[in-house]
A and B are shown apart, each in its own frame.
Chain A
Amino acid sequence: MIESPHPPAAPATSPASREVTNRVRVLSVLVEDGPNTLSKISGLIRRKGFHVRSISVGPSREAGRSRMTLTVDAGHAEADQVRKQLERVVEVIEVEDVTSDDVHSRELVVAKVKSFQVAGLVERGAKVLDTGADGTTVEFAGEGKDVGDFVNELMRHGVVDVARSGPVVMRRTA
């Protein structure tokens, strides 16, 4: 999670404003790999007053292109501005707004706990990565809410460290 120094402002009140849709958009963005791409996208988000809730980037199926999954609060702009502004960036090839679509959304968390008694975590679907003298390292993947619950559960096992990815999404098969 990247915290913006600016709290999200009230939504725009334009004279012909239709009902303000959810300001937080989930976008799947195909971009060109390049030294300027990430800084151009993050610079755009900052100067438009948007707020990044989460971001994850990885290689896409096509060489030279990466897939970004962004969760962005539109701030005081209308929600569709996030997609439209991203589309103006030449390095951005395609923006898909999957906010209200039926998607698989998965986050990964890797955590180190002091406890060696992790059966409860494994029961929830965690996988033990290693066990050492100073504790156990586990991983868990799931919907954002399940990951949140899992992280809460970790507290009871003496958390040493937690690393959590942003979500990656894919449309469900029809």
Chain B
Amino acid sequence: MILEALEREGVEYIFGYPGGANLPIYQHLHEHPKLKHILVRHEQGAAHMADGYARACGKPAVVFATSGPGALNLVTGLCTAYMDSVPMIAITGQVASTQVGRDAFQESDVIGATSSVTKHSYLVTSIDDLPRVIHEAFHIATTGRPGPVLIDICKDVQQADAERVTPDRLEIPGYQLNGHVDLNRAGEAAQAIAGAERPVILAGHGVLLSRAEKELKEFAEKAGAPVGTTLLGIGAFPVNHPLSLHMTGFMGTGWNLKAVQNADVLMMVGMRVDDRVTARLADFAPKVKTFIHIDIDGSEMGKNVRPHIELVADARNALEAMTPQIGTLDAGRGQWLAQIDAWREEHPLKYTRSNDSHSNGRLQPQDVLIDMYRRARNEAIVVADVGQNQIWAALWWNYDQPGLFINSGGAGTMGFALPAAIGAKFARPDKAVWCVAGEGGFVMTAQELSVAVEHQLDVKIVLLNNFSLGMVRQFQDDFYGGVRSHSDLTHMPDFVKLSEAYGMPAIRVDKLEEVGPAMDTAEKTKGPFLIDFRIDPEANVYPIVPLGKSLNDFWEAPN
């Protein structure tokens, strides 16, 4: 009955792992060939694969795990999806309803353990509830602000037989969607931006989730307002557009931070305005007279920054309603944009090139990524892990297309990239997929290489190996008294041999001139491929705002 319901919901992929409390489901899986099941090597990998799948194609995938440790292994993956508003359905086996509360074998309180990292969750103890629950779960996961929904199903319910009832309508009184746009309020917002002397727009993941890139571009161009994106909003606005401020936040570009800190009207759309965006909250955008906040989740209004104009609505609907209401632009607009251009010249993104004498012959990560992005030709999906590799990949991103950069922004989950890249490749077999990771995060979920090899997925892994936890090392150097405490990674595997042990070809690269040929080989090789780029262990991420400081205080790369 569960599997039939999943078919009915249009599910294509299930990422899962069988065990004692979900065996009744697995027994019948082969009777449902439309449901493609991918056997993972650890449940966390399953959640990240479903996450990468949904981020790449917009549809939810399903995760299966057994009770106790199986379900608890999902927690990090659920949290990652929850923080970044990614739809997912997790179906966990629970001990039989008659065993609940008896500390039965592999029993754990999964609802209790996951309620802080799921949009909603259900414990199903009766077969009669199952069709309704599954139908509701998909609705809740995919509508409004998306998120993971967990269904914990007792083993006896999985085995029970009942009349197949197809729920024909949804009735969830406690779940209201904010679809309606207040036109007057939208007009007020549009006029505030148009009439501003120094307007700035910041766009988050919500713009991508509601597919509002086109509407954002139209609004920004008509309003003559520059647009920056959050880390998760990358792709919401073309980086090469003259109005682009690129990435904002405490590792954002200098010209973006200058613009935000000098703006008089700041519009934040589809974003949470978290501490990574504001740095020291009391000094965030201090010259702003009017904050405008657009988000589909009303609880975001005033959670971190109290807006003067709030629009609780889908980003696309809101922007669509706003664009026609833009009035005459402020006369000082040209001056403001010229000022931003000057800041762009004054504070460019820069790095020490590998062939510069200051690099001491060490390979610089930016050279690797620039080569990768050149090959990606504005259309490949790039999945980054967490840490320096993530910020380098974000800042040197040069696309003008949405939805192609995937990373764990809110949760910052190390080990995300490889399984998420696998999920993305299942979702978009037509697209090249590049996985960028540091060696620290990579070994956290490296067991999923089996999945990439088993299914011969064309995932190219760009390992930026700096023999350390680079971001931790950089923070220790700069903000924790220069004490390098447990940030050096020694005794790591030989990544070429590790890849070969999984049956996957790999190459090691430590010189600039080897980068291109290695990338050529990776691209030409069918199936997964890893390049172990041994990069400069001292390479740092810039710009960066020192911890606890305001966005005004960003540090730039040394000359």
A residues apposed to B, CB below 8 Å: 13-18, 31-32, 35-36, 39-40, 43, 47, 77-78, 80-81, 84-85, 87-93
Contacts and interface: CB of A to CB of B under 8 A. Distances in A.
B21 to A, nearest CB: 18
B302 A81 contact: yes
B285 interface: yes
A87 B284 contact: no
20 contacts: A13-B281, A14-B302, A14-B305, A15-B291, A16-B308, A18-B306, A35-B123, A36-B123, A47-B116, A78-B302, A78-B303, A78-B306, A81-B299, A84-B298, A84-B299, A85-B299, A88-B297, A88-B299, A90-B119, A90-B175
A36 B115 contact: yes
Contacts of A13: 281-282
Interface string B281-308: 1101110100100000111011111111
B282 A93 contact: no
B121 interface: yes
B291 A16 contact: yes
A131 to B, nearest CB: 41
Contacts, number: 67
Contact of A43 (B116, B119, B175, B304): B116
Given A13-B282, A93-B173, A93-B174, A77 B307 contact: no
Contact of B174 (A18, A36, A91): A91
Nearest to B173: A93
Contacts of B291: 15-16
B457 to A, nearest CB: 36
B299 A87 contact: yes
A16 B307 contact: yes
Contact of A15 (B174, B286, B301): B286
A85 B297 CA distance: 10
Interface residues of B, number: 31
B112 interface: yes
A7 to B, nearest CB: 21
Contact of A16 (B121, B298, B303, B305): B305
A40 B329 CA distance: 48
A93 B306 CA distance: 26
B170 interface: no
B140 interface: yes
B453 interface: no
Interface string B165-177: 0000000111100
B282 A87 contact: no
Given A15-B285, A16-B307, A43-B116, 15 more contacts: A14-B304, A15-B288, A16-B288, A31-B174, A36-B111, A43-B112, A47-B116, A84-B299, A84-B303, A88-B297, A90-B119, A90-B120, A90-B140, A91-B174, A93-B174
A80 B302 CA distance: 8
Contacts of B299: 81, 84-85, 87-88
Contacts of A15: 281-282, 284-286, 288, 291, 305
B125 to A, nearest CB: 8
Interface string B253-292: 0000000000000000000000000000110111010010
A91 to B, nearest CB: 6
A47 B281 CA distance: 20
A36 B302 contact: no
B303 A81 contact: yes
A107 to B, nearest CB: 28
A14 B115 contact: no
A39 B112 contact: yes
B111 A14 contact: no
A40 B174 contact: no
Given A39-B115, A93-B174, A87 B303 contact: no
Which residue among B120, B285, B306 has the maximum number of chain A CB atoms within 10 Å of its CB? B306
A32 B175 CA distance: 12
A31 B174 CA distance: 8
Nearest to B176: A87
A39 B115 CA distance: 9
B287 to A, nearest CB: 10
Contacts of B115: 36, 39-40, 43
A28 B299 CA distance: 18
A32 B174 contact: yes
Contacts of A89: 174
A16 B268 CA distance: 14
Contacts of A16: 288, 291, 305-308
Contacts of B302: 14, 78, 80-81
A170 to B, nearest CB: 21
A90 B149 CA distance: 11
Contacts of B306: 14, 16-18, 78
A49 to B, nearest CB: 12
Contacts of B172: 90
Nearest to A32: B174
A17 B305 CA distance: 8
A41 to B, nearest CB: 10
Contacts of B175: 90
A92 B285 CA distance: 35
A152 to B, nearest CB: 39
Contacts of A40: 115
A112 B58 CA distance: 63
Interface string B123-151: 10000000000000000100000000000
Contacts of A32: 173-174
Contacts of A80: 302
A41 B550 CA distance: 35
A92 B299 CA distance: 14
Interface in B164-209: 172-175
Contacts of A39: 111-112, 115
A87 B120 contact: no
B174 A92 contact: yes
User: Which 8 pairs across A and B sit closest by C-beta, in order of nearness?
Assistant: A84-B299, A90-B120, A93-B174, A14-B306, A93-B173, A16-B306, A90-B174, A78-B302
Interface in B2-33: none
